[in-house]
């Protein structure tokens, strides 16, 4: 039987169409429970209450801060309250960076004060700040194409504008000027970098986000200004006169701090040693209160788990919610968890991540062995009343499950609509006002159904070829 | 004839219908010129260039600042460049208030840092700030209804939310808690006031705007927080636990400074001693760059005047553009101008004001003697292709022409659409990104036509009963 099935699988792969045995089909009882989940999710307030509570009672919770520790205590309470078991905090060390204050002013040709944020992990300036002529380039390629010495002792302004997309792909294309720009400019002798925020908003919110300094280049400070201020700075350059900026930042690093991944489970029955993992992250950037990034993801996962817990039936596989520490500042929570998972006797057979806002879900994508595509189709049919399209089999996880995905863990991805996400992401404007309760309920419904049916799949979730790591 | 006409007028007023002689009708040539103005305005970039230049080259220009003086020099250059004559700066003394820094934190029940702005003219706090239990009330009436001593030594939080309207009427209803709230609370022994911003935005921008301290009450500091932060603060109160805030501000008054109303004209011909006045204000609040408030008004008025200047015909009445000093901080520009106008040999016969954003114009309102309503109808017909509705005869001016309106000067009011205005007004988000070039062109067209035909009216603009002063 096994041989025969493998043979069939081989044929179906050649033909580009997967197959599965009738025994792999989801049962009527499991599909009926999925229907119950959808109905209940669309009327359930749990996810809203979770994100409201997290943003009101904890608020901004950057890695290493006192609020980061408060968030761990909050998450343990929430998981116990919602009926999860094996609730625990697994320690993770995280960086502790202090934002301090930042200032940006245009000194010439036209004096203007500009709202600014230091980029995450940036070194500060000397107390008197930096004043220098400023060179505008579109991106790192344009910087590299300048004549030698062109930015020596100067400030570099990266002007490239992120494009708005539903799947968030505009972010990956634009973000290298933030992550790599400071070291690219530092290597050429520049004194500081200012970027146009990796943002799709026309509102005056600079964004933040991590720099990845190269180890072999002296660190220079990095700053971001909002789109309207970047437009205004471009108009200053358009005058044809020399542009001078003054920058000041008191950002600084502190010693690493303990934090934790917070974990809770709905134990499985006959396949309890197989883990269906639900990942979101508990930390946030500090300018906002982390409602869409990633309070909403925490809420979606806890809301979905609570609804599955309230079903009459128990899941066959163990459903494990992991609220990761420190997604924003180097993903040490994810790396710690991935290492521990490899040492566990249980096996991570399927992953879900929610780290792209508060919904709605617009598409169900996957990264599964093609033999399992029929069950993904079957799951998708249960999402159709939620107006969810069928995506391809090239899904990536978010940053937190990327380590497990690289090891071959299959992914189901109820794709959250990212059209408006980068209007708010990593800015002071990431507040509860940006969460639409109806969209959030729809997202909980889509996740709850997909997680439940993924846990009930009578067949085996087989490992996949390692995913290409997403850019972020 | 005069007696007969007055008799007719009396009858028409009783009947609620005005009349006019055939000789009062606008000429075919003047209407043809209006058509030319409309066509040219819809393709003209002048207004955009004006607001772009003002926001880029001057930026924020609060009364009394160095940028306020730079704005005067800028305006004189612009008027000369656009072909106005008798261009001059008429000195006005203005207050000089320094915003300094402001901080707001919730200390209990849940610690949160809250973006905040000091209200305009606020006194600062002691250097160590103010920490106190906080009492939430909806508005001044609710404050007055509290038991004696309820707010003594406490902070008062006014929670009322402004309503969104097309005509801006929601602002007048909500703004007393900003203008009067600090003295109302100060009179009851409160230590400071925090208000929900007079704003319709769900973005995290606190607004600013002037306090009117009562002379007989000790001044206490006033602050504003954004709508999402006010919502979050209401959730803290909903916990049932005591709410404590910490507030700090370095706001302070400096000695008054000289500023100026900037004035330029298109001289009239046979009725040159009659002034058609076009008012906008040159100053702005400091958190934004004053694009919609009131760079757009400056641009509309200069753009309209430039188009009229380029007609083959000269206006019969003198068209005078006045860019007022210090609208935001006590309207000393307006008061100085009104006093001077009463001493002039010329007469202000018709007023236009643009101080409500960048368009479009949605309605033509008026406040004219009913005998002149037929010409207003005739002017309105020329605006119909711009999708402008016909409003009533109860128009108010903005703040700058209010003094002249109180003296009986008739008003024509191409009403700017205020639906989105209070999303941005008096916040850091008042940038050029919030000006829609097409809406701005439409507004210039509506103003240019109305101003031109108002200047050409063959009849007499008769004084009206004093307008009720608008609330702001």
Q: Which two tokens stand for residue B113?
A: 């840092």
Cβ neighbours of B59 in A, within 8 Å: 110-113
Query: Rounded to an integer, what is the distance from CA A142 to the centroid of its chain?
Result: 28
The pLDDT > 90 percentage for chain B reads 92
Confidence of residue A23 (pLDDT cuts 50, 70, 90): confident
Distance CA A280, CA A398 (A): 9
**Confidence at residue B21, expressed as pLDDT on a 0 to 100 scale:** 65
Q: At A22, is the pLDDT very low, low, confident or very high (cuts 50, 70, 90)? A: low
DSSP class of residue A163 equals P
- Collapsing DSSP to helix, strand or coil, A108 comes out as strand
pLDDT tens-place string over residues B183-226: 999 999 999 999 999 999 999 999 999 999 999 999 999 999 99
The pTM of the full predicted model, rounded to 2 decimals, is: 0.93
Q: Taking CB atoms and an 8 Å limit, are B111 and A227 in contact across chains?
A: no
pLDDT score recorded for residue A122: 98
Candidate from A9-23, A302-316, A383-397, B277-291 with smallest mean pLDDT: A9-23
**Mean residue pLDDT across chain B:** 94
d(CA A355, CA A391): 18
Q: Supply φ then ψ for residue B391, to 5 degrees.
A: -95, -170
A112 chain-B contacts, CB cut-off 8 A: 59-60, 289
Beta carbons within 8 Å of B334's beta carbon, 6+ residues apart = B324, B327, B399, B400, B401, B402, B403
Partners of residue A55 in chain B, C-beta under 8 Å: 232
The set of residues, in sequence order, having a beta carbon less than 8 Å from that of B170 and lying 6+ positions away, is: B162, B163, B164, B200, B422
Chain A contact set for B112 (CB, 8 A) = 59-60, 289
Residues in CB range of A187: below 8 A, 6 or more apart: A214, A217
Cβ A429–B204 below 8 Å, yes or no?
Answer: yes
Q: Are A118 and A97 in contact (CB under 8 A)?
A: no
Average pLDDT over residues A389-403: 96
The pLDDT of residue A368 is: 97
Task: For chain A, list residues whose CB is within 8 angstroms of any CB belonging to chain B.
Answer: 52, 55-60, 67, 110-113, 115, 202-205, 227-229, 231-232, 235-236, 288-289, 428-429, 431-434
- pLDDT attached to residue A6: 36
Within 8 A by CB and 6+ apart from A267, the residues are A85, A86, A314, A318
A interface mutation test: which of B52, B99, B110 has the most A CBs within 10 A?
A: B110
Q: How much is the pLDDT for B467?
A: 55
Instruction: For B297-316, write each residue's pLDDT tens digit.
Output: 999 999 999 999 999 999 99
| pLDDT of the residue at A470 | 54
Tens digits of residue pLDDT in B23-67: 789 999 999 999 999 999 999 999 999 999 999 999 999 999 999
Give B328-372 pLDDT, tens digit per residue.
999 999 999 999 999 988 899 999 999 999 999 999 999 999 999
Give the closest-approach CA distance of B57 to chain A in angstroms.
5
pLDDT at A423 over 70: yes
Tokens of A185: 């400019």
pLDDT at residue B19, rounded to an integer: 53
- Asked if A398 and A257 count as a contact pair (C-beta separation under 8 A), the reply is no
Residue B24 is predicted with a pLDDT of 86
Closest chain B residue to the Cα of A229, Cα to Cα: B431
Closest residue in B to A428 (Cα) is B204
Q: Any bridge partners for residue A254, and if so which?
A: A96
Q: In this complex, do A60 and B203 lie within 8 Å of one another by their Cβ atoms? A: no
End-to-end CA distance of chain A: 44
pLDDT, average across residues B371-379: 97
pLDDT at B1: 32
Q: Among A207, A14, A17, A246, which residue's Cα sits nearest to residue A114?
A: A246
Q: What is the pLDDT of residue A168?
A: 92
Predicted confidence at residue A405, as pLDDT, reads 96
The chain A residue lying nearest B115, using CA atoms, is A428
- Residue B6 confidence (pLDDT) above 80: no
Quote the pLDDT of residue A31.
98
How would residue A24 be classed by pLDDT, with cut points 50, 70 and 90? confident
Which tokens hold the place of B78? 């612009």
Taking residues A113-140, report their average pLDDT: 98
Kindly provide the residue ranges of all beta strands, DSSP E only, lying in A35-163, ordered along the sequence: 85-98, 102-108, 112-114, 117-118, 130-137, 155-158
Distance from CA of B110 to the nearest CA of A (A): 5
Nearest to A432 among B56, B113, B232 (CB): B232
Strand order in the sheet with B244-249: B112-114, B102-108, B244-249, B130-137, B155-158, B192-196, B222-225, B117-118
pLDDT score at A469: 56
Interface test with B, best of A52, A56, A67 (most B CBs within 10 A): A56
DSSP letter string over B202-221?
-SS-----B----TTS----
Q: Which residues on chain B are in Cβ contact (under 8 Å) with A57? A: 110
Give the pair of three-digit tokens for residue A223: 């700053």
**What is the torsion angle, in degrees rounded to the nearest 10, for the CA atoms of residue B270, residue B271, residue B272 and residue B273?**
140
* Nearest-CB residue to B59 (from A60, A112, A203): A112
Using the predicted structure, report yes or no on whether residue B415 has a pLDDT greater than 60. Answer: yes
Whether A14 shows a pLDDT value over 50: the answer reads no
Structure tokens at A268: 């499985």
- A206-262 pLDDT, tens digit each: 999 999 999 999 999 999 999 999 999 999 999 999 999 999 999 999 999 999 999
Q: CA-CA distance, B156 to B178, in Å (whole number)?
A: 12
Closest CA–CA distance from residue A65 to any residue of chain B (Å): 13
pLDDT tops 60 at residue A28: yes
pLDDT tens figures, A250-297: 999 999 999 999 999 999 999 999 999 999 999 999 999 999 999 999
pLDDT, residue B11, reads: 37
- d(C-alpha B186, C-alpha A87), whole Å: 51
Are A158 and A177 in contact, with CB atoms under 8 Å apart? yes
Distance CA A201, CA A165 (A): 13
Residues from chain A that touch B65, judged by Cβ atoms under 8 A, are: none
**Is a pLDDT exceeding 90 seen at residue B129?**
yes
Q: Nearest-CA distance from B292 to chain A in Å? A: 14
Predicted confidence (pLDDT) at residue A17 exceeds the cutoff of 90: no
How far away is chain B from the Cα of A172, in angstroms, using its nearest Cα? 25
Calculate the CA B123 to chain-centre distance: 24
Task: Say whether pLDDT at A4 is over 80.
Answer: no
């Amino acid at each position: 039987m096994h041989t025969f099935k493998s043979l069939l699988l081989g044929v179906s792969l050649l033909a580009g169409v997967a197959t599965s045995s009738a025994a792999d089909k989801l049962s009527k009882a499991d599909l009926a429970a999925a229907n119950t989940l959808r109905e209940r999710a669309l009327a359930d307030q749990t996810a809203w209450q979770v994100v409201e509570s997290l943003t009101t009672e904890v608020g901004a919770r950057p890695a290493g801060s006192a609020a980061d520790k408060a968030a761990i205590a909050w998450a343990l309470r929430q998981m116990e309250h919602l009926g999860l078991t094996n609730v625990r905090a697994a320690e993770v060390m995280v960086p502790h960076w202090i934002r301090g204050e930042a200032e940006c002013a245009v000194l010439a040709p036209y004096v203007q004060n500009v709202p600014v944020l230091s980029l995450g992990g940036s070194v500060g300036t000397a107390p008197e700040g930096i004043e220098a002529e400023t060179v505008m380039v579109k991106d790192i390629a344009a910087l590299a194409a300048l004549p030698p010495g062109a930015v020596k002792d100067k400030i570099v302004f990266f002007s490239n504008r992120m494009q708005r997309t539903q799947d968030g792909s505009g972010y990956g294309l634009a973000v290298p000027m933030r992550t790599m720009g400071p070291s690219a400019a530092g290597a050429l002798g520049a004194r500081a970098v200012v970027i146009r925020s990796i943002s799709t908003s026309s509102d005056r919110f600079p964004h933040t986000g991590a720099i990845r300094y190269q180890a072999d280049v002296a660190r220079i400070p990095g700053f971001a200004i909002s789109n309207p201020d970047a437009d205004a700075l471009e108009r200053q350059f358009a005058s044809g006169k020399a542009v001078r900026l003054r920058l000041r930042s008191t950002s600084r690093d502190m010693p690493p701090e303990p934090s934790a991944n917070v974990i809770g489970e709905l134990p499985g029955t006959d396949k309890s040693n197989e883990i269906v993992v639900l990942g979101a992250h508990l930390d946030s950037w500090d300018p906002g209160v982390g409602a869409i990034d990633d309070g909403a993801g925490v809420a979606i996962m806890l809301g979905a788990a609570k609804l599955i817990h309230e079903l009459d039936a128990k899941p066959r596989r163990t459903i494990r919610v992991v609220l990761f520490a420190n997604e924003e500042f180097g993903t040490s929570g994810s790396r710690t968890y991935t290492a521990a998972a490899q040492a566990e006797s249980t096996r991570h057979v399927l992953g879900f991540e929610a780290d792209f806002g508060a919904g709605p879900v617009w598409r169900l994508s996957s990264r599964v062995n093609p033999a399992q595509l029929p069950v993904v189709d079957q799951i998708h049919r249960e999402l159709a009343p939620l107006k969810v399209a069928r995506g391809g089999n090239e899904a990536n996880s978010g940053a937190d499950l990327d380590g497990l995905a690289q090891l071959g863990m299959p992914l189901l991805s109820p794709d959250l609509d990212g059209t408006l996400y980068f209007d708010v992401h990593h800015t002071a404007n990431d507040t509860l006002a940006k969460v639409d309760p109806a969209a959030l309920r729809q997202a909980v419904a889509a996740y709850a159904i997909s997680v439940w049916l993924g846990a009930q799949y009578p067949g085996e979730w087989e490992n996949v070829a390692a995913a290409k790591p997403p850019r972020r």
